[in-house]
Structure 1
């Protein structure tokens, strides 16, 4: 995609020299990955990467997996060679074994981009700063805290049930469920995470803030070309000047992202300042607020105020956590819940069986099933696990090697020269694309039915090959929430949210496919739309009262 970016004249010569150096190094100097098999480059400028980041990259990634196996060479921008990896032993080295030494970390351009869009929160920091933030945040995502927050989850999902019930009481209606899932997820993260109510879940009109956040990931994919500029961001002058440069860019996607980021920042800042003032005025004031001061941000602010000076987080870091909570917590979980509803609509027998379990549980435990009993419902748990295995919301995650190292392999691969490779040398600075969906559906681990959605697989002992593979995920032998210092800190929060919403919805309503097509777009977070490449998330289902 062509674009114009008015770099200061003083920087332009360095950019030209840098690009020429990259071209020379990548095209004329041999790479350690040259003996690793992989697809041929599609373009000297972008290699294979644009195919991998396409909104409809499912067929391309499936071919990459089936043709080249658990490790393959990719061609990236200006001839750079990257690795596509999903070998379980290699992933253990990347996410667990070498984490303390920071041998592999998030790719710098990814963290730079996150910092620009969200601020210096968990998604934008590394090393000691990231570890300090995570230590401060960890207690508020504990099971003990989630038990206390469960009533809030139920209060919100009951409002969702009432809203949908009012629309289908007269008969089945076609409803955009991804919109309602987004609004519900935002209200849950708002009340439980920030102590703020965004949406009463009653109006039928679109909420601008929710729509903006749902468009964040699709828009981020559209402006992937901006990665070429990220290495030079620090040389483009102060933030106000860089912002002015962005306003000059003609791309609609860039201006749309600017609007989304501005909206998220202003909302976060307003909530943050109000909450900080309340806490400073005394805890009694919090009792009259949403969540009564038990939300993540209230607890975090109080903990930060009482922490030792060396452990304190700056206000800008705390503010960035809010935007990070909203974006990461809303989009991934709401899309995962939408995926479950889509699958249940496609599999009515599974939906009926789940509804039977949920109705029986409601008769046993009452309207609000206690946390531990809800989490233990076997078929609901199996459906959530299987959906998160087969349809991980985040499909690819990049990592960079900070030192020269070696990746061990569970199964040797045959090199271009015909030799068997049981390990691969990874030079410092190398980029690895870890395919989470591929390892979650690796037939050598999960069996020949690995690509089938079969919740029943979790009701029986898993194949011995799953245990032997030792997939290094923090959740259920899958890499959906990854592992190590950058694992998803809110994965238990996400599980509770999914199960609470599904319990209330599926026990109350029946979901069927409508006449509107549902296309799941490949993106940083996969999302449903009515067509390939649409940046507007939509998922229309026919909804009626449960029989």
Structure 2
């Protein structure tokens, strides 16, 4: 009989863990919300979602069919809430302590990025170690709560590093690398012209190398030389490109281990300079051109308690986040912009004429921001082609999510709020909001920059941190580097559209969207993304 006790214990433990999962579909209030029929008891609607025409496209169809409040099924028939209601989304995004990333999402981010800003969750306040051990059930690292990292890093970087003043300094770097890319493509177009042809160039590849160089300098004071064909490829740069272009998700945090000597060097230089100068470093003294130096200097400030400082490992863990925020997203956004303009020569010419009206190749950030049609093209690109099409939050407590207009459940009852229980998951449908026909009209799928000259009044309710779109999310967890990305985007488009005319080298139907961290264009017949014909007009009078 003694051998039965361990089996009974194991059985009880399994039942304790598994039964709540099996019973969840019968207990959640989300089961009363309209949605598609359950395709599989095990996988729910996952197959249909994965086989959608584009990332985020299937959930968008659910909302169009079932209304502004809907639900669908995932693993073991668990329900996930969908809504495009602006008031509901604002509630979820602004109450970030009550609506956090689910454990499986955080585990995915931890595996790829380490314990960086994307991984950090929880209270927006710094939490003492004792709070971690008692109320957060031991979710801490190195004796100090990882949940404090979110607030701490945002305090150190958000205002000084990503504010207008610092971005204004980065503008020179944006132009330097954009012009270098332009000149490389001019060399290719000249060679093609000599053969009576136009150049066929993998635009995404070139933009990825360019933005990698930018984030290397602006983020870490480090030159990758990704755009310099005469240089030996940088190992870390190559590894990052492989990770971001592959279909797998290996750890990015492992790749940055080669950055450790650079980190140590910067930190040692800061310590030496402060000692030699007899400086008592404080947060007010934090200056520096690159983001990593800024973070290290701020972390070493004498007015930050020792138990609230980041370890070297936690500082290193922020590097992959800076990589993605300042590198891959911008390269993808500019590629989608050129993809859209290549199919609309009239709008491409309209934008080029505005850009050519500027008398210099390197305008100031303020001059760049004053170009209205460039701004409209940027907004329309990020509306129609957001880098990330969906995000997920999980309720940490029972709640009623308010609505701007009621919905009717499957029993015919009308509700002016959505009831959720602790553990329920909410899909933030970025693409569905950005392209909602109810908000944007019947042409919501079309690329029309002119719509921003008089946007629908209702889109002002979208709780995004920028531009009446949800591309950078909103609330405390909104993208802190959005200004960096916006100015870099404008610099790249300004430089390239003044020099080249863009045309697709393959039928547009051959280009599809695939999500691997961010949404990328992929050619069906191969892995070369968004091949584009380019004719050079640099230094010439524009003529068609």
1:184-238: CA deviation from partner (whole Å, max 9, x where unpaired): 111111111111111251318987655643454665xx6xxxxxxxxxxxxxxxx
**Which residue number in structure 2 is paired with residue 465 of structure 1?**
458
Secondary structure of the structure 2 residue equivalent to 1:318: helix
Selected match of 1:328 from 317, 320, 325: 325
Partner of residue 169, structure 1: 190
The aligned residue for residue 34 of structure 2 is 37
Are 2:492 and 1:501 aligned?
yes
CA gap 1:537/1:313 in 2 versus in 1, 3 angstroms: farther
Contact 1:104/1:400 (<8 A) preserved = yes
TM-score by length of 2: 0.83
- The separation in 2 between residues aligned to 1:15 and 1:531, in whole angstroms, is 47
Identify the match of residue 95 of structure 1 among 68, 90, 93: 93
1:294 paired with 2:315, answer: no
Q: How does 1:416-431 map onto structure 2 within 5 Å?
A: 416-431=410-425
Partner of 1:237: none
- Alpha-carbon distance in structure 2 between the residues aligned to 1:369 and 1:402: 48
SS in 2 for 1:34: helix
Deviation at 1:511, TM superposition (A): 0.7
Following superposition, the deviation at residue 74 of structure 1 comes to 1.4
Q: Deviations over 1:431-481 (max 9, x none)?
A: 1111011111222322232222110112x23222333xx111111111111
Which of 154, 158, 161 is 1:134 aligned to? 154
The CA distance in 2 between the partners of 1:158 and 1:13, in whole Å, is: 65
Cα separation, 1, equivalents of 2:426 and 2:233: 39
1:455 corresponds to 2:449: yes
* Range moving further from structure 2, 149-158 or 391-400: 149-158
- 2:13 and 2:111 map into 1 onto residues whose CA distance is 20
- Whether the 8 Å contact between 1:53 and 1:522 is mirrored in structure 2 is no
Structure possessing the higher radius of gyration over alpha carbons: 2
Report the Cα offset of residue 60 of structure 1.
2.4
1:15 and 1:52, CA in 2 relative to 1: closer, same or farther beyond 3 A?
Answer: farther
Q: Which residue of 2 aligns with 1:4?
A: none
Q: How many residues align?
A: 484
CA contact (8 A) 1:444 1:465 kept: no
Aligned to 1:160: 181
Q: Which has the higher contact order (CA 8 A, sep 6+)?
A: 1
Aligned to 2:396: 402
Shift of 1:117: 1.9
Q: Is the 8 A contact 1:509 1:544 kept in 2?
A: yes
Cα gap change, 1:384 to 1:206, in 2 (>3 Å):
farther
1:255-292 Cα deviation digits (max 9, x unpaired)? xx25x553x2223334322322332333899xxxxxx9
Which of 521, 526, 543 is matched with 2:534 structurally? Answer: 543
- Pair 134,293 (structure 1): closer, same or farther in 2 beyond 3 Å: closer
Mapping for residues 101-116 of structure 1, pairs under 5 Å: 102-116=97-111
In 1, Cα distance between the equivalents of 2:274 and 2:225? 25
> CA, structure 1 residues 31+218, in 2 after alignment: closer, same or farther (shift >3 Å)?
farther
Match of 1:391 in 2: 385
Q: CA deviation at 1:344?
A: 1.1
Tell me which of 484, 489, 499 is aligned to 2:480. Answer: 489
- C-alpha distance 326-34 of structure 1, shift in aligned 2 (>3 A): same
Q: CA deviation at 1:539?
A: 1.4
Q: CA RMSD in A?
A: 2.7
Map residues 188-199 of structure 1 onto 2, 5 A cutoff: 188-199=214-225
2:60 & 2:523 partners in 1: Cα distance? 22
Residue in 2 that maps onto 1:479: 470
Deviations 1:2-34, CA, capped at 9 Å, x for gaps: xxxxxxx9x99798546632453135x332111
Q: Return the match for 1:213 from 225, 230, 240.
A: 240
Structure 2 CA distance for aligned equivalents of residues 83 and 22 of structure 1: 19
Structure 1 residue ranges without an equivalent (≥5): 1-8, 223-252, 286-291
Please report how far the alpha carbon of residue 103 of structure 1 lies from its aligned counterpart in structure 2 after TM superposition: 1.5
Per-residue CA distance 1:276-319 (angstroms, 9 max, x = gap):
2332333899xxxxxx9511111221121114125422212211
Distance 1:330 1:525 in 2: 11
* Matches for 1:24-423 after TM superposition, within 5 Å: 24-26=22-24, 29-54=26-51, 56-57=53-54, 59-96=57-94, 98-99=95-96, 102-127=97-122, 128=126, 129=148, 130-138=150-158, 139-170=160-191, 171=193, 172-203=198-229, 209-210=236-237, 212-214=239-241, 216=243, 253=248, 257-258=250-251, 261-262=253-254, 264-282=255-273, 293-306=288-301, 307-309=303-305, 310-361=307-358, 363=359, 366-423=360-417
- The residue matched to 1:282 in structure 2 has which SS? helix
CA distance in 2, matches of 1:162, 1:333: 20
Q: CA deviation at 1:540?
A: 0.4
Q: Distance in 2 between matches of 1:441 and 1:218?
A: 26
User: Contact 2:188–2:199 (CA<8 Å) still a contact in 1?
Assistant: yes
Matching residue of 1:241: none
**For 2:406, what is the secondary structure of its paired residue?**
strand
Aligned-partner Cα distance in 1 for 2:505–2:253:
34
The residue aligned with 1:245 is none
Distance 1:57 1:156, change over 3 A: closer
Q: Which residue of 2 aligns with 1:529?
A: 522
Distance (Å, rounded) in 2 between the aligned partners of 1:436 and 1:491: 16
Give the C-alpha shift of residue 396 in structure 1: 0.2
Q: 1:182 to 1:280 in 2, by over 3 A?
A: same
Change (3 A) 1:45 1:26: same
